[in-house]
Amino acid sequence: MGSDVPRTVVVATGNAHKVAEIQAALDVANLTFVAASELQGGWVGPEEDGETFEANARIKARAAFERFGMPALADDSGLEVDALDGEPGVHSRYYAGPCATDEENNARLLLALRDVPHTERSARFRSTLVLVNEDGSELVATGTCEGAIGFEPRGENGFGYDPLFFPAATPGVTMAELSMVEKNAISHRGAALRELRRLLAGGE
């Protein structure tokens, strides 16, 4: 994907927030991104039954590549809480059930941590990106963001567990209280996207 010819990359998601973050962070001049759900025929994501973030990202990227016949990018990310032995981890999206909302997932997390003191609520967001090129080759990039879980939701920006997560890089402020620019500068997905940008530019 090193050519200067403009290319469209399908993002294997229906999450507009995620596509907006990717477009804002991965500012490669010849790439534009579109959500799979916006393309003709729509998008029903495959079963994400991998045991790691990379496995799930690959499942989604490959499915979108085969479905639309164009370069495809997928992210799998989640929250790892040390006091919960790394949970919810790869189950972050469905932590409170297969149709859970962000609010329900956050409520379950707070319940699971109800007796855990502030000093033991360390956690991290982790992200893995898999990009499948036109020829079927892959680029894989990862990123993490260390922090801690609060005691109640704060902030209106972001999505998922952002209202509960206090990044170590922004003391006293949740991920959901940051602007998109501020979030991309320190987030797990921002770190993964910067790594992917480096790989696209030919970095080793």
Active-site pick, 75, 76, 82, 135: 76
Q: Is 75 a catalytic residue?
A: no
Asked, as a colleague might, if the bond just before 88 is cis with ω within 30 of 0, I would say: yes
**Catalytic site positions:** 76
